[in-house]
């Protein structure tokens, strides 16, 4: 039974109105969503579109097609740099030992072949004489310096090998056919003047790189200078090398092989720098000319005697700091200002030009402050006069002895860790020029090159 208050017509009208309102709200909501999506899409297209650039015409490329802005850009190749990674060391079993080359103060050197690539390399097995004290500091310095040194005149360290013993450490370096000492012993005649200049220039270029990077080699000698059959010279054996310390930092005086050791080291100084390397360069320079060491002393006292006989006696004028050195007080030297002592003995090098004598005497200056730097040596007039340095490509080749023979003549080894400093005690150097005076008075003549 229907209610008497019911109005069916009015209810239908109201329900129809509500339905229309509901549909209108849905339509407006959908319209707002579509407008928001369209605005977002337009913003994205604007951001992704490349900025318009003003085309500058040079008159040459006017006929080239201009790329359309809507065309997709080609994928750009990223530049990737190879970075060092951590990886385990290879085992020594990957190398076949061909022959032993030599035993040095800090390791054994042998020639070997990589079984993977058939490349011939040089292996240096580090000596562990003081294993109880840990890994040798000399080997750590050598590895660190070789890893950071990249120069055509410095031997390259390729990798480090491990052995069956956890303490075994082997350095893999490039193999060069000769070292200067063995090569000169097998030569019938010394190097030509042009060849000496080529070798000396490459030697000084390697030393310049080290000194520029604050590295002292401290054991430059002909047996540590390698040469390949393409005329390229490289410095090797960095067992005594180290970075230059701050000023006035105490250093060990027992460095550099005796025949190439500077006078300030022989006299006990502990404050030195790259000048000790330049003295060694001068000794090597003279050895290349004469084909034999120029200062081959038997001990420290004999070495000082040979140095003073070649370079003259020090004085307050030529070397003011000489008498402040620890071992200088025990030397008996004339301190009379009126007493004149001979200077550099030029007669030892009769075939060296005046410019060459000037360079050699400067490198062998008793006063370290008077020795030229490596940069000064490279700009010396000696390299610009005739004959000019021979190109490395035209350097003569020699049979390699590194693979088959040991050295026949013995030479002093580099100082070892733990050795005692012999020192220089009371010695009288007042009569070391007697032989020179007798030789100058003798008969005969000598040709001098202009």
Cα–Cα separations (whole angstroms), residue 399 to 43, 214, 343, 367, 410: 77, 36, 40, 40, 21
Choice between 250 and 161, residue whose per-residue pLDDT is larger: 161
Residues designated as active site: 219
Per-domain residue ranges of the chain:
96-173, 178-439
Res. 137: pLDDT tops 90 = no
Burial of residue 194 (number of CB atoms within 10 Å: 0-12, 13-18, 19+) = middle
> 178-439: which CATH topology?
Transferase(Phosphotransferase); domain 1 (1.10.510)
Per-residue pLDDT, averaged over 357-382, amounts to: 95
What is the CATH architecture of 96-173?
A: 2-Layer Sandwich (3.30)
Confidence of residue 253 (pLDDT cuts 50, 70, 90): confident
Confidence of residue 66 (pLDDT cuts 50, 70, 90): low
How many CA atoms lie less than 13 Å away from 41 in the CB half-sphere?
A: 6
Q: What is the largest CA-CA distance in the chain?
A: 163
Res. 24: pLDDT tops 50 = yes
**Residue pLDDT, tens place only, 138-165:** 899 999 999 999 999 999 999 999 988 8
Percent of the chain with pLDDT over 90: 46
Burial of residue 6 (number of CB atoms within 10 Å: 0-12, 13-18, 19+) = exposed
Given this model, what pLDDT does residue 295 score? 94
Given this model, what pLDDT does residue 157 score? 94
Confidence of residue 302 (pLDDT cuts 50, 70, 90): very high
**Residue pLDDT, tens place only, 203-218:** 999 999 999 999 999 9
pTM confidence score = 0.72
* Sign of the alpha-carbon torsion through 257, 261, 265, 270: negative
Residue of 351, 402, 364, 396 whose CA lies nearest to 123:
402
Burial of residue 98 (number of CB atoms within 10 Å: 0-12, 13-18, 19+) = middle
* Highest mean pLDDT out of 10-24, 56-70, 112-126, 340-354: 112-126
Cα–Cα separations (whole angstroms), residue 380 to 135, 208, 311, 359, 383: 42, 14, 20, 7, 6
């Amino acid at each position: 039974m229907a209610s008497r208050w019911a109005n069916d017509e009015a209810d239908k009208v109201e329900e129809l109105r509500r339905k229309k309102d509901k549909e209108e709200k849905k339509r407006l909501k959908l319209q707002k969503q579509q407008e928001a999506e369209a605005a977002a899409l337009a913003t994205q297209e604007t951001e992704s579109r490349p900025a318009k650039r003003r085309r500058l015409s040079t008159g040459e490329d006017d006929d080239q097609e201009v790329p359309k802005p809507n065309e997709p850009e080609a994928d750009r190749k990223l530049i990737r740099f190879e970075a060092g990674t951590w990886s385990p060391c290879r085992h020594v079993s990957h190398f076949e030992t061909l022959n032993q080359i030599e035993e040095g103060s800090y390791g054994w050197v042998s020639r070997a072949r990589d079984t993977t690539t058939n490349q011939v390399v040089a292996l240096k097995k580090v000596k562990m004489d003081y294993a109880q004290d840990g890994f040798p500091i000399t080997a750590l310095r050598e590895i660190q310096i070789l890893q950071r040194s990249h120069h055509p005149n410095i031997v390259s360290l390729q990798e480090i090998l491990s052995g069956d013993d956890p303490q075994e450490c082997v350095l893999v370096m490039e193999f060069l056919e000769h070292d200067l000492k063995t090569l000169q012993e097998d030569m019938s005649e010394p190097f030509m003047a042009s060849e000496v200049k080529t070798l000396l220039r490459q030697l000084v270029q390697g030393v310049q790189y080290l000194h520029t990077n604050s590295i002292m080699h401290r054991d430059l000698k002909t047996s540590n200078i390698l040469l390949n059959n393409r005329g390229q010279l490289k410095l090797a054996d960095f067992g005594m090398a180290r970075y230059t310390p701050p000023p006035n930092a105490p250093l060990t005086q027992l460095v550099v092989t005796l025949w190439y050791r500077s006078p300030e080291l022989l006299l006990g100084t502990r404050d030195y720098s790259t000048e000790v390397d330049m003295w060694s360069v001068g000794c090597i320079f003279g050895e290349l000319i004469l084909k034999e060491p120029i200062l081959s002393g038997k001990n420290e006292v004999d070495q000082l005697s040979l140095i003073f006989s070649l370079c003259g006696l020090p004085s307050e004028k030529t070397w003011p700091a000489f008498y402040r050195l620890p071992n200088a007080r025990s030397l008996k030297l004339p301190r009379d200002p009126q007493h004149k002592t001979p200077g550099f003995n030029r007669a030892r090098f009769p075939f060296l030009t005046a410019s060459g004598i000037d360079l050699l005497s400067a490198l062998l200056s008793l006063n370290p402050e008077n020795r030229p730097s490596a940069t000064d040596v490279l700009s010396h007039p000696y390299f610009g006069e005739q004959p000019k340095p021979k190109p490395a490509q035209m350097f003569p080749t020699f049979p390699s002895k590194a693979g088959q023979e040991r050295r026949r003549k013995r030479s002093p080894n580099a100082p070892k860790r733990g050795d005692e400093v012999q020192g220089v005690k009371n010695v009288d150097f007042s009569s070391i020029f007697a032989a020179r005076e007798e030789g100058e008075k003798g008969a005969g003549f000598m040709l001098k090159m202009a």
